[in-house]
Amino acid sequence: MMIGKKVVPLSCAALLILLAAVPMLVVTVPGASDYPNHLARHHIFAAIGQGTALDRYFIVDWRWVGNLGVDLPVLALSSWLGVEPATRIVSALIAPLTVAGILLLSRSAHGRVTGGAMLALPFAFAQPFLFGFLNYCLSVALALLVAAAWYAKRPGSLHAALAFGLGAIAVWTAHIMGWAILLFLVASAELAMVRSWRDLVHRALRAAPLILPIVPLLVWHAEGGGRLFWYAPHLLQAKAMNFVTALKGLSMPFDLAITASICLGAILAFLWAGGRRLEPRLAAGGGLLLFATLVLPTTVLGSWGADLRLAPVAMMVTIMAIRPAPRPERERLLIMLGASLFVLRAGWTSVHWWQADRALQKRLVLLDEVPRGSRLGFLSAEAGCDNWTLTPNRKLGAYAITRRDAFGNTLFQIPGSDVMTIRQPPDRARWFDGSQDIPVHCPEGAPDRHALGERMRSMAQADFNALWIAGIDSKSVPRLPGYAIVYSRGIDTLLIKQASEPPEPGSIPRPQSAIRWMGAGP
Confidence band of 114 (pLDDT split at 50, 70, 90) = very high
CB 212 within 8 A of CB 171: no
Tell me if 406 is assigned to some domain.
no
Contacts 24+ apart (CB under 8 A), 42-48: 42/70, 42/71, 42/74, 42/75, 42/78, 42/83, 42/86, 42/87, 43/83, 43/401, 43/402, 44/401, 44/420, 45/71, 45/74, 45/75, 45/78, 45/420, 46/75, 46/78, 46/79, 46/83, 47/405
Confidence band of 53 (pLDDT split at 50, 70, 90) = very high
- Give the strands of the sheet with 376-380, arranged side by side: 376-380, 466-470, 492-497, 483-489
Task: Provide the phi-psi class of 18: left if phi over 0, else alpha when psi is between -120 and 50, else beta.
Answer: alpha
| Residues 134-175 pLDDT 10s | 999 999 999 999 999 999 987 778 888 999 999 999 999 999
CB 231 within 8 A of CB 306: no
Angle at the Cα of 396 (from 395 to 398), degrees rounded to 5?
75
269: closest CA among 110, 54, 125, 451?
A: 110
Global confidence as pTM: 0.91
Amino acid at 260: A
Lowest mean pLDDT among 31-35, 451-455, 518-522: 518-522
pLDDT surpasses 80 at 234 = no
CA–CA dist 207, 143 (Å, integer):
14
Q: What is the mean pLDDT of residues 318-347?
A: 92
Tell me if 117 is assigned to some domain.
yes
CA–CA dist 76, 376 (Å, integer):
28
Q: Which residues pair with 376 in a beta bridge?
A: 466
Task: State the pLDDT at residue 60.
Answer: 95
372: closest CA among 145, 52, 44, 111?
A: 52
> What is the percentage of the chain residues whose pLDDT exceeds 70?
90
CA–CA dist 67, 417 (Å, integer):
7
Tell me if 344 is assigned to some domain.
yes
Amino acid at 11: S
CA–CA dist 148, 185 (Å, integer):
9
CB 304 within 8 A of CB 233: no
Task: State the pLDDT at residue 510.
Answer: 43
Q: What is the mean pLDDT of residues 457-474?
A: 95
Tell me if 84 is assigned to some domain.
no
- Burial pattern 313-339, b for ≥16 Cβ within 10 A else e, equals bbbbbbbbbbbbbeeeebbbbbbebbb
Those residues with Cβ within 8 angstroms of residue 451's Cβ, 6 or more apart along the chain or in another chain: 438, 439
**Structural domains in the chain (count):** 1
Task: State the pLDDT at residue 4.
Answer: 42
Tell me if 423 is assigned to some domain.
no
Tell me if 26 is assigned to some domain.
no
Cis peptide before 209 (omega within 30 of 0): no
CA–CA dist 346, 132 (Å, integer):
16
Domain extent at residue 199: 2-21+93-353
Tell me if 520 is assigned to some domain.
no
Query: For the chain, what is the mean pLDDT?
Result: 89
Tell me if 177 is assigned to some domain.
yes
**Greatest extent of the chain over all pairs of C-alpha atoms, in Å:** 85
pLDDT surpasses 50 at 519 = no
| Residues 96-105 pLDDT 10s | 999 999 999 9
Secondary structure of residue 487 in the 3-state scheme: strand
